Structure 1
Amino acid sequence: MHVTHLSLADFRSYARVEVPLDPGVTSFVGANGQGKTNLVEAVGYLATLASHRVSSDAPLVRAGADRAVIRAAVTQGERSQLIELELNPGKSNRARINRSSQVRPRDVLGIVRTVLFAPEDLALIKGDPGDRRRFLDELVTARSPRMAGVRSDYERVLKQRNTLLKSAAMARRHGSARTGGADLSTLDVWDQHLARAGAELLWQRMELIRAIQPLADKAYEALAPGGGPIALEYRSSASAPEASPDSARETGAGSVTGAQGREELYALLLSALGGARKQEMERGVTLVGPHRDDLVLGLGRLPAKGYASHGESWSYALALRLASYDLLRSEGNEPVLVLDDVFAELDARRRERLAELVAPGEQVLVTAAVDDDVPGVLAGARYTVAEGGVARV
């Protein structure tokens, strides 16, 4: 699968730009702030409906414009499709496939798949659990686009449940009687909905970890020979709602076994929600569920977070991305590889090794500040990006 043409209107710094793309390697070279990352960010948005740089759509719309449009022609084998996303901050986004009548934005998921390497990837190792949950959920959705609906359902139920808990907590503080049976009965219903959607998300995450573990270990060995092994361990709030990842690692609390099926996980979540009910009523927030879980990353016999060096952290993050790529490719739809200003962050050995590993990709998009940052093995099409323009060399 590869993108053959990218068209942007009022996206980031571009009033309008048209970029034809070929299979193989394409590099966008330009000084910082010229807009090269904006191009690959748009491709990534088509794959995930989100930016790897910001958490909302508003910054993606060019200053002074009301909306932004991302349009791409995509080829997979003998099949070609045209997809279009219209970003409307504060309103509902719109989508089209092959210029047909409008479809839901999430219906475009799965047409374009990407694996993106970026400086922000260090957050996978050094950042908060939310960074690692996002990594898991985006890859889960890339493997199975229907999971976008499950994630949306979970977030909707979580929001409703938190609203109820917050109201109940405020009522308790003010001595109101509105926390009686009717409220608790409603909460029971929300518990069931949360546990049902949460069990599916939890099961998919654990299946993903089982699939990606050997691939990540292999990729780390390729990038940093003799530096592993690495270990990926899922820590669930359903087993230990109040345990931190570090304490859970020391005590063993919080583990969820891979042998558990969806119904077992549903029962586990439902039981954990009941056990946390008192604390949740006091604090006004949901303390149990996939939104509170973490992926604990081990390096050797120690947790990577807090112990891995800068170079080891980079190798670990790159290994997770390479493993993602290998997994998606093995499932029949090779993703577009995006390397956004990564090579300047790496030492010479890691730079050359990463380049060798990704060079065979069907489509590889690279951004760099100067030509010298792009390893020679990644020879291919080159564009210069400057003053709002994109020109092929």
Structure 2
Amino acid sequence: MIVEQLSLVDFRNYAVADVTLGPGPNVFIGRNGQGKTNLAEAMAFFATLGSHRVSSDGPMVRDGADAAIVRARLAHGERRVLLEVQLNRQGSNKARVNGAPVKTSELPRYAQVVLFAPEDLQIVRGDPSARRRFADQLLVQRAPRMSAVLSDYDRVLKQRTALLKSARARGIRGEALSTLDVWDDKLVALGTQVIQARLTLADELSTPLTQAYTAIAGADHEPRLEWALSVRGGDPEEGAAETDAVTPGALEDLFRSALATRRSAELDRGLTLVGPHRDDLLLRVRGLPVKGYASHGESWSVALGLRLAAAELLRADSRLGDPVLILDDVFAELDSDRRARLADLVADYEQVVVTAAVEQDVPAGLRARVVRVEAGRILEAADA
């Protein structure tokens, strides 16, 4: 897949912008704060339906405007698809495919993008929510139906937790809260699907993560990833994980048993303490947790390795061709050896988009086409 044209209206610091991209590497150069990352964010939105920098859509709308519009013309081989999304400061967003209205949730079916940015260091160093978000976004990209499963799980979780808080406030205990059983059934049914999908994903990421990490770091530090599951007593704070395979039926039984065991504690705290929203994806190198033990270079290599492994999975099972690979302000954080290895690793993707403040930070092999960005303006592209 290739993004051939990107058009913006009232998006971030762009009043109006149009940029043409080509196959192979495309490099956006500009000082910090000029709008390079905004271009990457706009392209990635079609694939993830969100921003890698903020949790809501409002900040992506230019100050003083009520809505932003992002259009992208994509090439899937000989086929062309025009995607458009209107991001509203208030109310639901709107989307079109080739001019026809569609649900916004349909957009990832047409666009596959993998974006790596400095914020991704939080995947390996931040709290568990960052790792869950990484996994869930990739699940949706590979199987869009998972978006509905995850949304339904979040809805049931909020309703069940609201019931627990209400019961705590009214002093209701134990068996007196019979309506909780109904929400338990829904939580288990949806949560089991999420857990099983995440376990399968971790298994499939294992080999490409090892290959990508070794290629970037220049050494095999045995990167590993596994889930600490709250239904099995795994405690993310303690770094405990259960690695034995488990069937969906057994998962359901574990889930129900864990809910029964923790019910008293849940009523005391007014919180749902068991389920995929409490799980953590544990990452290790050299047998030690990345968080707290890995060096800066190792942490960057793991974070990059995860994104590149995700790109390889999408590449392997997609009918759209390669995902567009975006490297946002990455090379400045890497030493010269890692820069060269990363450039070699991504060179054969159909399209690579790179942003950088300093052109010389980007290996020469990726500087085939350079676009200057200045204060929300796209300057003329130049072929290196």
Same fold (TM over 0.5): yes
- Deviation of 1:268 (Å): 2.1
Q: Deviations over 1:231-278 (max 9, x none)?
A: 1111101111xx5325353xxxx52533x2333322322221222111
Quick one: which of 290, 295, 305 aligns to 1:319? Answer: 305
* Distance change in 2, residues 1:290/1:256 (3 Å): farther
In the alignment, does 2:165 pair up with 1:166? Answer: yes
Partner of 2:40: 40
SS in 2 for 1:360: coil
More displaced 10-residue stretch of structure 1: 265-274 or 113-122: 265-274
Q: Deviations over 1:30-60 (max 9, x none)?
A: 0000001000101111110010011111111
Percent identity for Structure 1 against Structure 2: 50
d(CA) in 1 for partners of 2:219 and 2:363? 24
Matches within 5 A, 1:89-238: 89-100=89-100, 102-172=101-171, 184-238=177-231
Partner of 2:51: 51
Partner of 1:12: 12
In the alignment, does 2:238 pair up with 1:247? Answer: yes
The 8 Å contact of residues 209 and 308 in structure 2, kept in 1 or not, is answered as yes
In the alignment, does 2:337 pair up with 1:349? Answer: yes
Partner of 1:268: 254
Q: Deviations over 1:136-184 (max 9, x none)?
A: 1111111111111111111111111111111111112xxxx5x686x72
d(CA) in 2 for partners of 1:257 and 1:99? 49
The 8 Å contact of residues 239 and 256 in structure 1, kept in 2 or not, is answered as no
SS in 2 for 1:295: strand
* Distance change in 2, residues 1:290/1:4 (3 Å): same
Partner of 1:61: 61
d(CA) in 2 for partners of 1:300 and 1:233? 15
Amino acid at match of 1:367: T
SS in 1 for 2:232: coil
The 8 Å contact of residues 3 and 75 in structure 2, kept in 1 or not, is answered as yes
- Deviation of 1:367 (Å): 0.4
d(CA) in 2 for partners of 1:217 and 1:389? 40
Q: Deviations over 1:334-376 (max 9, x none)?
A: 1100000000011111011101111111010110002112110
**Aligned Cα root-mean-square deviation (Å):** 1.5
Unaligned runs of 5+ in 1: none
d(CA) in 1 for partners of 2:64 and 2:247? 50
d(CA) in 2 for partners of 1:347 and 1:197? 44
Q: Deviations over 1:182-224 (max 9, x none)?
A: x723211111111111111111111111111011111111122
The 8 Å contact of residues 236 and 256 in structure 1, kept in 2 or not, is answered as no
- Deviation of 1:5 (Å): 1.0
- Deviation of 1:386 (Å): 0.4
d(CA) in 2 for partners of 1:71 and 1:265? 43
Partner of 1:84: 84
* Distance change in 2, residues 1:79/1:264 (3 Å): farther
d(CA) in 2 for partners of 1:225 and 1:18? 39
* Distance change in 2, residues 1:267/1:180 (3 Å): closer
d(CA) in 1 for partners of 2:192 and 2:90? 31
d(CA) in 2 for partners of 1:380 and 1:164? 58
d(CA) in 2 for partners of 1:29 and 1:157? 45
The 8 Å contact of residues 69 and 85 in structure 2, kept in 1 or not, is answered as yes
d(CA) in 2 for partners of 1:89 and 1:198? 31
d(CA) in 2 for partners of 1:347 and 1:195? 46
TM-score normalised per structure 1: 0.93
* Distance change in 2, residues 1:331/1:88 (3 Å): same
SS in 2 for 1:305: helix
SS in 1 for 2:109: coil
Q: Deviations over 1:289-323 (max 9, x none)?
A: 11110011111121111110111111111111111
SS in 2 for 1:217: helix
SS in 2 for 1:352: helix
The 8 Å contact of residues 29 and 372 in structure 2, kept in 1 or not, is answered as yes
More displaced 10-residue stretch of structure 1: 192-201 or 89-98: 89-98
- Deviation of 1:111 (Å): 1.1
The 8 Å contact of residues 15 and 62 in structure 2, kept in 1 or not, is answered as yes
d(CA) in 2 for partners of 1:331 and 1:316? 23
SS in 1 for 2:53: coil
In the alignment, does 2:297 pair up with 1:297? Answer: no
Count the aligned residue pairs: 379
SS in 2 for 1:361: coil
Amino acid at match of 2:244: T
The 8 Å contact of residues 73 and 83 in structure 1, kept in 2 or not, is answered as yes
- Deviation of 1:68 (Å): 1.0
- Deviation of 1:120 (Å): 1.0
Amino acid at match of 2:265: Q
